[in-house]
DNA sequence: CGTGACGTCCGGCGTGGCCGGACAACTATT
DNA sequence: AATAGTTGTCCGGCCACGCCGGACGTCACG
């Protein structure tokens, strides 16, 4: 069992629930929100008014919308901003060279978050928008990050989020995951063979700081038919690894 | 006098104060925050714990940091996202053509917010990061937006935020501002002659929807010595206006 | 081993978060 | 027009909970 969820300031939690659903609904009125959240109109209204006063929301022709204030907060911790800035141009190059999607992911609270992505000329459309949160075990990126963390941390993640199946090929066994992580540690890169999205393969490599702790991971992903065994097992990994290396060097010396 | 600030949910306001200072300090511990905010440690801790539990914050080696969750919320209302997506490539082109800075701004709560910027090869470094909030009357971008709003809206903005001086040349008189806005309406573009940053000039044009209401504005800005009268008064305006026109067309027909 | 700073957590006081309900403004339908 | 059903807003009051002082454990110093 997970430890009891200590939330001493429930009002804050409520506020964020409202903001989240407001974001999901892409703007809404008081009643619509109250209905969706199963809360009294007046309570929702109280929160909305406070947020509007604080300029975190915008009221436009009757509906409330999430404001641009969050953009500013989105430019979050500069340490991660640094990874973002250094990695982004490299991701672009990677996408250009391979013609496929290239991604940058970090870990937070045991989940993977897409920090950036670049589309190559042949890239298919995917559901990976910036900020998207996924389970670590379902992606090569996540496995690359996990491979650089101690076993205790891996156990923690499993206990907290489980290993839910999202496609037929998703890893759902803890031991199987751990043995894959050992492999990844050995060869330096991780792969994902239709484990999060059917028909998509992915190759990822971790980015570490000087202590060997993972800062994030980068990847290239594409449709199975273009990622045949040859490119999938040798060519792409080589490119990804070399790019990861460039980023690591730039991170430590600047 | 501005109307009384109705904030029915003070706890939410407190939470956001904490997040903001956390962001400014680029991560901090409980004591440091409590000191900065002049609040009891325990109160700050309560909020931090709640936010951490909700995964809006990250605790990394002792310090709390603003989490990437805000990135997701930063991809806010799709209508503005649309402007962002359509305008961004045009901004890039603008920066490339002119070699200077090109910017995209929207208005919220009577203030201007930089949605995006592009740096040309000769661009000097500026303080305009994405999400940055400025007074509308201090920038060509802001004046371009104001020029498309009714006088009552302009009065509201003035009443709410005043016309504070930020450089020697800042506009601080309401009538002067309004006569400039009339000029802008006539010729279609706005200028800023060291009114926000000494040594910097700027040319901006509004982006409007089908009803003529302003969605935002774009601009090109550069150092005074490169923006001499010739380029400043004719060349740059022409380029900016034509780009603004392209964006407007793409916004209405897609 | 002491000293100070840290993060965490408990317990209680009293304020304010929360909610039911009233009300005005607006639209649509008859 | 008048009515009926929306909507957003705003009171008033009760009792939960936000807030705070203080205690406690931990860690890094010298």
Residue B2 lies in a domain: no
Question: Strand, coil or helix: what is A220?
Answer: strand
Give the model's pLDDT for residue B253: 84
Give the model's pLDDT for residue A201: 95
Protein-proximal positions, strand D, CB < 7 A: 6-12, 17-23
Q: What are phi and psi of A192, to 5 degrees?
A: -135, 115
Q: Which of A28, A48, A77 best probes binding to B when mutated, by most B CB atoms within 10 angstroms? A: A77
Same domain, B61 and B127: no
Q: Which domain holds residue B130?
A: 81-253
Cα separation, A7 vs B51, whole angstroms: 8
Give the model's pLDDT for residue B235: 92
Which residues fall within 8 angstroms of residue B16, CB to CB, at 6 or more apart?
A54, A56
Cα separation, B252 vs B207, whole angstroms: 11
The four Cα atoms A140, A142, A146, A147 give a dihedral, to 10 degrees, of 20
Same domain, A47 and A91: no
pLDDT tier at A167, thresholds 50, 70, 90: very high
**Hey, what are A179's tokens?**
């043995």
Cα separation, A27 vs A62, whole angstroms: 10
Q: Are B4 and A49 in contact (CB under 8 A)?
A: no
**Set of chain A residues whose Cβ sits within 8 Å of the Cβ of B23:** 72-73, 76
Same domain, A64 and A96: no
Out of B50, B65, B80, whose CB is closest to A12?
Answer: B50
Give the model's pLDDT for residue A8: 76
Q: CATH number, domain at B63?
A: 1.10.10.10
Cα separation, A92 vs A246, whole angstroms: 13
Residue A128 lies in a domain: yes
- DSSP assignment of A95-152 equals HHHHSSEEEEEEEETTEEEEEEEEE-TTPPP-S--TT-EEEGGGSHHHHHHHHTS-HH
Give yes or no for CB of B50 within 7 Å of strand C: no
- Nucleotide whose C1' lies closest to the alpha carbon of residue A41: C19
- Count how many domains chain A has: 2
CB-based contact (8 Å) between B70 and chain A?
yes
Which segments of chain A does DSSP mark as H helices, in order? 10-24, 30-37, 41-53, 69-74, 78-98, 140-147, 151-161, 174-187, 229-230, 236-252
Asked if B19's CB is within 8 angstroms of A73's CB, the reply is: yes
Nearest to A192 by CA among A252, A140, A251: A140
Q: What are phi and psi of B245, to 5 degrees?
A: -65, -45
Give yes or no for CB of B57 within 7 Å of strand C: no
Give yes or no for CB of A32 within 7 Å of strand D: yes
Q: Directed axis angle between helix A236-252 and helix A78-98, to 10°?
A: 150
Q: CATH number, domain at B203?
A: 3.30.450.40
Domain boundary among B68, B93, B118: B68
Which residues fall within 8 angstroms of residue A242, CB to CB, at 6 or more apart?
none
CB-based contact (8 Å) between A51 and chain B?
yes
Give the model's pLDDT for residue A3: 42
A141-156 average pLDDT score? 94
What's the half-sphere exposure (Cβ side, CA atoms, 13 Å) at B56? 26
pTM of the model: 0.88
CA B40 to C1' D24, whole Å: 17
Q: Tell whether the model's pLDDT for residue A111 goes beyond 50.
A: yes
Measure in Å the smallest separation between the Cα of B96 and chain A Cα atoms.
17
Q: What are phi and psi of A131, to 5 degrees?
A: 100, -15
Average pLDDT taken over every residue of chain A? 91
Same domain, A110 and A21: no
Give the model's pLDDT for residue A2: 39
Q: Which residue has the higher pLDDT, A207 or B80?
A: A207
Same domain, A22 and A94: no
Cα separation, B95 vs B87, whole angstroms: 12
Q: Which residue has the higher pLDDT, A7 or A143?
A: A143
Tens of pLDDT along B63-111?
A: 899 998 888 888 766 667 789 989 999 999 999 999 999 999 999 999 9
Cα separation, A223 vs A99, whole angstroms: 12
Report which listed range, A49-53, A78-82, B203-207, is most confident: B203-207
CA B218 to C1' C9, whole Å: 52
Residue A76 lies in a domain: no
Mean pLDDT for back-to-back runs of 10 residues, chain B (254 residues): 61 92 90 91 91 90 88 73 90 95 95 93 86 95 96 91 96 96 97 96 95 94 91 93 97 86
- Nucleotide whose C1' lies closest to the alpha carbon of residue A32: D7
Cα separation, B203 vs B140, whole angstroms: 6
Q: Tell whether the model's pLDDT for residue A1 goes beyond 60.
A: no
Residue B4 lies in a domain: no
Same domain, A221 and A168: yes
Same domain, B45 and B108: no
**Hey, what are B211's tokens?**
């009803």
Give yes or no for CB of A8 within 7 Å of strand D: yes
Same domain, B64 and B85: no
Residue A237 lies in a domain: yes
Same domain, B219 and B93: yes
Give yes or no for CB of A37 within 7 Å of strand D: no
CB-based contact (8 Å) between B161 and chain A?
no
Same domain, A113 and A227: yes
Domain boundary among B68, B91, B116: B68
**Hey, what are B108's tokens?**
């919220």
Nearest to A69 by CA among A53, A85, A84: A53
CB-based contact (8 Å) between A47 and chain B?
yes
A244-250 average pLDDT score? 96
Q: Which residue has the higher pLDDT, A156 or A181?
A: A181
Q: What are phi and psi of B101, to 5 degrees?
A: -75, 140
**Hey, what are B118's tokens?**
């592009």
Same domain, B159 and B187: yes
Domain boundary among A68, A92, A115: A68
**Set of chain A residues whose Cβ sits within 8 Å of the Cβ of B11:** 9, 11-12, 15
Give the model's pLDDT for residue B165: 96
Which residues fall within 8 angstroms of residue B179, CB to CB, at 6 or more apart?
none
Residue B3 lies in a domain: no
Residue B5 lies in a domain: no
Cα separation, B243 vs B93, whole angstroms: 9
Cα separation, A111 vs A215, whole angstroms: 13
Percent of chain A with pLDDT over 70: 96
Q: What is the DSSP letter of A210?
A: T
Give the model's pLDDT for residue A215: 93
Cα separation, A203 vs B120, whole angstroms: 34
Protein-proximal positions, strand C, CB < 7 A: 5-11, 16-22
Q: How far is CA A68 from the centre of its chain?
A: 21
Which residues fall within 8 angstroms of residue B212, CB to CB, at 6 or more apart?
B148
Tens of pLDDT along A11-36?
A: 899 999 999 999 988 889 999 999 99
Out of B53, B67, B80, whose CB is closest to A6?
Answer: B53
Q: Directed axis angle between helix A174-187 and helix A140-147, to 10°?
A: 80
B8 burial type by CB count under 10 A (0-12 exposed, 13-18 middle, 19+ buried):
middle
Out of A10, A20, A108, whose CB is closest to B68?
Answer: A108
Contact residues, B window 202-241, toward A, CB-based 8 Å cutoff: none
Q: Tell whether the model's pLDDT for residue A241 goes beyond 80.
A: yes
Residue A74 lies in a domain: no
Same domain, B206 and B111: yes
Q: What is the DSSP letter of B200?
A: E
Q: Are B167 and B195 in contact (CB under 8 A)?
A: yes
């Amino acid at each position: 069992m997970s430890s009891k969820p200590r939330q001493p300031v429930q009002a804050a939690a409520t506020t964020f629930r409202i903001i989240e659903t407001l974001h999901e609904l892409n703007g809404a009125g008081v009643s619509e929100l109250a209905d969706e959240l199963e809360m009294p109109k007046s309570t929702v209204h109280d929160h909305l008014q406070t947020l509007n006063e604080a300029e975190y929301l915008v009221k436009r022709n009757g509906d409330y919308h999430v404001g641009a204030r969050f953009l500013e907060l989105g430019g979050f911790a500069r340490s991660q901003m640094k990874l973002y800035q250094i990695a982004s141009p490299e991701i672009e190059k990677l996408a250009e060279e391979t013609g496929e999607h290239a991604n940058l992911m970090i870990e937070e609270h045991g989940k993977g978050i897409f920090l950036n992505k670049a589309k190559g000329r042949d890239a298919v459309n995917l559901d990976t928008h910036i900020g998207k949160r996924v389970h670590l075990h379902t992606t090569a990126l996540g496995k690359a990050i996990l491979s650089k963390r101690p076993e205790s941390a891996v156990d923690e993640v499993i206990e907290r989020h489980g290993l839910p199946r999202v496609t037929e090929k998703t890893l759902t066994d803890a031991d199987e995951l751990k043995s894959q992580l050992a492999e990844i540690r050995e060869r330096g890169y991780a792969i994902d063979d239709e484990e999060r999205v059917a028909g998509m393969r992915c190759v990822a490599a971790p980015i570490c700081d000087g202590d060997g702790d993972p800062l994030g991971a980068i990847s290239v992903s594409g449709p199975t038919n273009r990622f045949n065994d040859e490119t999938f097992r040798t060519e792409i990994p080589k490119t990804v690894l070399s790019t990861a290396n460039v980023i690591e060097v730039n991170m430590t010396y600047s």
